[in-house]
């Protein structure tokens, strides 16, 4: 499993970041994407959520979102040590 690091710099431009991730997916850096989830908060306060991938049904997308939430929490807590 490859861990994607969230650094403060370099991730501020959403379009550039999404293109970088798409390029890495195409290059095979992460393997085949079975389920992906993207959450986005817009400047007017709307939350948009996108599920994608060959197996991106509702329950699988929710599961990936929750697993991602836990991984992010673990990453943040480990960074503070």
The helix (H) or strand (E) run that includes residue 37 is: strand 36-41
Q: Where do the domains of the chain lie?
A: 1-31, 33-79
pLDDT computed for residue 43 by the predictor: 95
Q: 45-81: per-residue pLDDT in tens?
A: 999 999 999 999 999 999 999 999 999 899 888 876 6
pLDDT computed for residue 79 by the predictor: 79
Report d(CA 11, CA 9) in Å as an integer: 6
Query: Would you say the pTM of this structure is higher than 0.75?
Result: no
Q: 1-17: per-residue pLDDT in tens?
A: 566 665 656 778 899 98
The helix (H) or strand (E) run that includes residue 62 is: helix 58-79
Report d(CA 61, CA 67) in Å as an integer: 10
Region 8-27: what's the mean pLDDT?
87
């Amino acid at each position: 499993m490859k861990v994607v690091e969230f650094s403060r710099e370099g991730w501020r431009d959403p379009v550039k970041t999404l293109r970088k991730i798409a390029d890495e997916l195409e290059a095979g850096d992460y393997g085949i994407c079975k389920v992906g989830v993207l959450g986005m908060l817009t400047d007017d306060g709307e939350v948009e959520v996108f599920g994608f991938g060959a197996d991106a049904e509702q329950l699988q997308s929710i599961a990936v979102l929750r697993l991602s939430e836990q991984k992010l929490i673990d990453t943040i807590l480990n960074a503070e040590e």
